[in-house]
């Protein structure tokens, strides 16, 4: 059924369809009984799916990755699609338009997407206003970043502001220093600036009555040596875990033609082509650290089998995004059913 829906959705530009989907889901949720019917179709309730990771109790281990609900407009409705948690953002202190359009492209031959959105969002105040109106009990992660105009020397100020403003309204934080679409952002993944940033956030965290988990979202383009640094940084800063991985700038092995790729230009690649590298990194981090911290596995999950691979590699939780777009909301239930059969 979803393949027919997807055929018509894919006739239109990706960003246009993204906005239309939000309108349709939001409008549908108003209809009496509609959210109940979504839960009936897509939500799998089974106590064996429950997980406790970094002190948070999840109904199931499958979440929606950041980037879909950037401005926290749809998290209550998305709870009805069977997710165990939803990560909102990336959120920045000030509103920003992001990069010029077009900036979102489907690579249908590869079951992939290239985006160079550039942290487009309505800013931290608008996001907080929506989170205050939360109705469901869905676990919320807050993915935080810096504004494009903020120089890296002052980046910590942006992360601090987002942390403080979001703190009462999210269950955990994801520190995004790995998007390839904000100039210079990935420089913050280097050992010294990253350690400094995470230590500062942990200082703020320790001042709260009850601290909240802080996770680091990393790029799939890191070398094994850089992953060794990540393991040391996690240990040194005592953060709660890692999200592996963000999108990649690598274009090797794609079926999409070189001409098409050149016409698209820069951006982060997500979907099936990221699957193997993401799983490799999860396995490497898990084994090299001796499972010292939890990992949320994300990247190229388009089937239940893909999800199980991530779990067997060492992931404690999972996130989907591109797979959700290509395979539809039933993917979440299929993954959870496969987990029960393990």
Q: Please, what is the angle between helix 330-341 and helix 304-313, to 10°? A: 50
Cα(302)–Cα(113) distance, rounded to whole angstroms?
Answer: 13
DSSP 133-189: T--S--EEEEEE---TTS-GGGHHHHHHHHHHHHTTT-SEEEEE---TTSTTGGGGG
Strands of the sheet with 104-107, listed across from one edge? 104-107, 112-115, 268-271
Question: Of 80, 178, 179, 270, which one is the catalytic site residue?
Answer: 179
Only one residue has tokens 């952002």, namely 185
Cβ density class 94-118: b for 16+ within 10 Å, e for less = bebebbeeebbbbbeebbbbbbbbb
Q: Any idea what DSSP says for residue 13?
A: -
Active site residue 303: no
Give catalytic residue positions: 179
């Amino acid at each position: 059924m979803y393949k027919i829906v997807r055929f018509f959705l894919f006739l239109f530009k990706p960003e246009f369809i993204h906005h239309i989907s939000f309108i349709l889901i939001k409008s549908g949720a108003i209809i009496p009984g509609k959210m109940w019917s979504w839960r009936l179709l897509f939500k799998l309730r089974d106590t064996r799916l429950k997980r406790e990771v970094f002190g948070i109790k999840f109904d199931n281990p499958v979440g929606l990755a950041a980037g879909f609900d950037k401005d926290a407009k749809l998290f209550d409705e998305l709870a009805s699609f069977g997710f165990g948690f939803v990560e909102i953002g990336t959120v920045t202190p000030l509103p920003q338009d992001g990069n010029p359009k077009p900036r979102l492209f489907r690579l249908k031959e590869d079951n992939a997407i290239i985006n160079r959105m550039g942290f487009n969002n309505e800013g931290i105040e608008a996001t907080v206003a929506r989170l205050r109106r939360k109705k469901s009990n869905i676990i919320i992660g807050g993915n935080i970043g810096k504004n494009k105009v903020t120089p890296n020397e002052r980046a910590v100020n942006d992360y601090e502001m987002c942390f403080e403003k979001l703190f009462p309204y999210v269950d955990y934080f994801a520190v995004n220093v790995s998007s390839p679409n904000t100039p210079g952002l990935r420089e913050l993944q280097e050992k010294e600036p990253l350690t400094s940033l995470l230590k500062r956030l942990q200082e703020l965290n320790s001042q709260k009555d009850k601290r909240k988990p802080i996770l680091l979202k990393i790029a799939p383009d890191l070398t094994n040596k850089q992953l060794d640094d990540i393991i040391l940084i996690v240990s040194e800063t005592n953060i709660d875990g890692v999200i592996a991985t963000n999108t990649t700038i690598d274009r090797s092995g794609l079926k999409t033609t070189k001409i098409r790729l050149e016409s698209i230009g820069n951006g982060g690649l997500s979907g099936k082509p990221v699957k193997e590298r993401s799983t490799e990194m999860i396995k490497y981090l898990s084994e090299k650290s001796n499972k010292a911290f939890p990992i949320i596995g994300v990247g190229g999950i388009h089937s239940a089998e893909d999800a199980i691979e991530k779990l067997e590699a060492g992931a404690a939780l999972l996130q989907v995004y591109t797979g959700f777009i290509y395979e539809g909301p039933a993917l979440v239930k299929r993954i959870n059913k496969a987990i029960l059969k393990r």
